[in-house]
A and B are shown apart, each in its own frame.
Chain A
């Protein structure tokens, strides 16, 4: 039967042995991190963004690299998902994007600070995370059934989908846009996108100040949704 001193040696020996292995692995990990996190891309702007990230305790609501709180979206791949432009608009006025929904604090960031936060998130998106977050694997079966008519313009795929759904994917803040071409003419859509408030005062739709070419692309595509 095990004696007390044997039990003590099991404890002391095991602890020393596994802590030594842990220190060795830490040494190796620290050697590999610079390449995996793309250290060369860590500009001063990225570092300033990281300080803002900490100073505002963004982790108190969001997760990043899957760590933080579960009240607001995971942000590891947010630049890929929404695009820099969307994030900038959102940071200027969080309520513009999700009116009447769960609220984010208005931090009154300067334009420079917004660029820093975006740079930080962009850098985070480039880290080799061993495949996190994984691409949804069960959604495909649903998407096949209601395929989008033609490929959406890039702007739609990053910014507009935050609120609008087409072919079953997108947000639920604004109305779904399937068949919008049947309901609105080209001229109406163009006027709506140029200045939503003028058409419908009090609407939750933000004025996105779109360049003519982007607006044109969007209108062309929306009209085709029938």
Chain B
């Protein structure tokens, strides 16, 4: 760590990991409900657990992105954060808004729109908070010694993410229009501008960890995010097949969705290629594990499992089944969870001066959590394929099929236990690092 104010990233990372743990707990509540043990029904009905699970994910990933930006932008711009105080206030506001929203869900204070359940008054707070954040990192970058491509891509992604939150705040009386613009937020986030954020963080990590020339890494960054938008913007068509929108979306969505894995394939080749080119000499191997792992798993989860069901001829049967849950879990894990965990794994030794990245614990955390998530994906896939054939293609009753796939949720829960153990080890490692301290400043290698 070169600049003292970079330490503020720690707050965001700690918030991220706390909310991530909570998210996993709510996942278990739903897993057990699917197994037939809906024991918390009167306290936390499924829809409350579901809204909480999704929104915790969104809030903790945003917190992770913010933490990453507060660490990366000063390093790239070669100066302190414009206002550390504003960063702390903005962190506290994010935590407070997030927690209020989550608590509110348990009392029916929500909007009932998947991924955008946060009620309108809190939406305004989120917008103000994100604007304060962008202002802060933006001023840091603009007044810095240099404005690198990595900073540009990262800031572009963060600003676009903030702007794209707005279409989700328009009120519609028609379910069709509501859904149309809801995807402007959700799709253009996760299959668009969030990939810019991911690409920016990945480029920074690869520059730091592999020692490959910045010019080479940043050039390919442009190519990859170019492919992201080339395929991802019109790839939104795969959400417009069956919601009351015109038939031409079947063609457009089908073709551009088929191109979407290219961006993720690029991301995977990029991470692996740069790591090989640089010789993997950095002592913090585990951060490189997470970075390269992120490239590969995002291709498998978001790219490959995405195209596996976005072709219209397949999607007509799989739309609205557990197949979506299968893809969703590995996609978010590979692309966004892993990049945040990579960033934390890289930044912690830098911020605290302790080099706790060797030994069995961080490495076991990586393997156990990844194997757990792959296991969950497999169990969801079996349940989903069964549902598609029995309910959608043979025409059996919904609940009869749900009873038939109940056993696979035992598999989901077992694999999720493995994932939790891995994440538990990761968090324990995080705690061992302790707090950022001034001695770590300038001791940076």
Contact = CB atoms under 8 A, between A and B. Distances in A.
Interface of A: 2-4, 7-8, 10-11, 14-15, 18-19, 21-22, 25-26, 28-30, 32-33, 36-37, 39, 42, 47, 50, 53-61, 63-74, 98, 101-103, 105, 124, 127-139, 142, 162, 169-173
A71 to B, nearest CB: 5
Contacts of B223: 2, 7, 10-11
Given A15-B229, A172-B397, A70 B321 contact: yes
A136 B392 contact: yes
Given A58-B47, A102-B399, A66 B219 contact: no
B262 to A, nearest CB: 12
29 contacts: A10-B223, A11-B229, A14-B226, A15-B229, A22-B236, A25-B248, A25-B249, A25-B252, A29-B180, A36-B246, A39-B174, A42-B173, A50-B173, A54-B113, A57-B51, A60-B112, A65-B243, A67-B179, A67-B320, A71-B50, A102-B36, A129-B243, A129-B244, A136-B393, A136-B395, A139-B393, A171-B399, A172-B397, A172-B399
Interface in B376-405: 387, 389, 392-400, 402-403
Contact of A33 (B111, B177, B226): B177
Among B34, B229, B249, B393, the one with the most A-chain Cβ atoms within 10 Å of its Cβ is B229
Contacts of A14: 226-227, 229-230
A134 B315 CA distance: 10
Contacts of B111: 54, 57
B174 A37 contact: yes
A58 B245 CA distance: 22
A60 B51 CA distance: 7
Contacts of B229: 11, 14-15, 18-19
B181 to A, nearest CB: 9
> Which one of B50, B247, B320, B324 has the greatest number of beta carbons of chain A within 10 Å?
B320
B53 to A, nearest CB: 10
Contacts of B225: 11
B245 A73 contact: no
Give the interface residue-count category, chain B: 35 or more
A110 B373 CA distance: 44
B45 interface: yes
Contacts of B149: 4, 8
A134 B320 CA distance: 12
A19 B233 contact: yes
Contacts of A7: 219-220, 222-223, 226
Top 3 nearest A-B pairs (CB, nearest first) are: A60-B47, A136-B395, A132-B242
Contact of A65 (B242, B246, B322): B242
Interface of B: 30, 33-34, 36, 38, 41, 45-48, 50-51, 108, 110-114, 117, 149, 173-177, 179-180, 215, 218-220, 222-223, 225-227, 229-230, 233-234, 236, 240-250, 252, 316-317, 319-322, 324-325, 387, 389, 392-400, 402-403
B32 to A, nearest CB: 12
Nearest to A14: B230
A113 to B, nearest CB: 15
Contacts of A133: 319-320, 392
A142 B230 contact: no
Nearest to B392: A136
Q: With a 10 A CB-CB cut-off, give which of A37, A130, A131 has the most chain B CB atoms.
A: A130
A90 B30 CA distance: 23
A134 B389 CA distance: 12
Contacts of B34: 71
Given A18-B233, A29-B240, A130 B220 contact: no
Contacts of B47: 56-61, 69, 105
Given A30-B177, A32-B245, A73-B398, 14 more contacts: A8-B149, A8-B222, A28-B246, A37-B174, A57-B51, A57-B111, A58-B47, A61-B46, A67-B114, A70-B321, A72-B398, A74-B320, A130-B250, A142-B394
B394 A54 contact: no
Contact of A130 (B108, B242, B322): B242
B175 A65 contact: yes
Interface centre among B51, B230, B242, B396, by most A CB within 10 Å? Answer: B242
Nearest to B30: A71
A11 B222 contact: yes
A42 B112 contact: no
Contacts of A170: 397
Of the candidates A19, A69, A73, the one having the most CB atoms from chain B within 10 angstroms of its own CB is A69
Given A29-B240, A68-B114, A61 B399 contact: no
A36 B247 CA distance: 10
A60 B247 contact: no
A65 B234 contact: no
Contacts of B389: 138
Given A18-B233, A130-B250, A132-B316, A33 B400 contact: no
Contact of A137 (B117, B174, B393): B393
Contacts of A172: 397, 399-400, 403
A66 B114 contact: no
Contact of A2 (B46, B174, B219): B219
B395 A57 contact: no
Contacts of A72: 46, 398
A75 B222 CA distance: 43
Contact of B112 (A4, A11, A55, A171): A55
A33 B245 contact: yes
Nearest to A19: B233
A123 B33 CA distance: 31
A124 B252 contact: no
Contacts of A3: 219
Contact of B243 (A55, A57, A66, A171): A66
Contacts of A127: 176, 243-244
Contact of A36 (B244, B252, B395): B244
B112 A53 contact: yes
Given A33-B176, A47-B173, A101-B399, A70 B110 contact: no
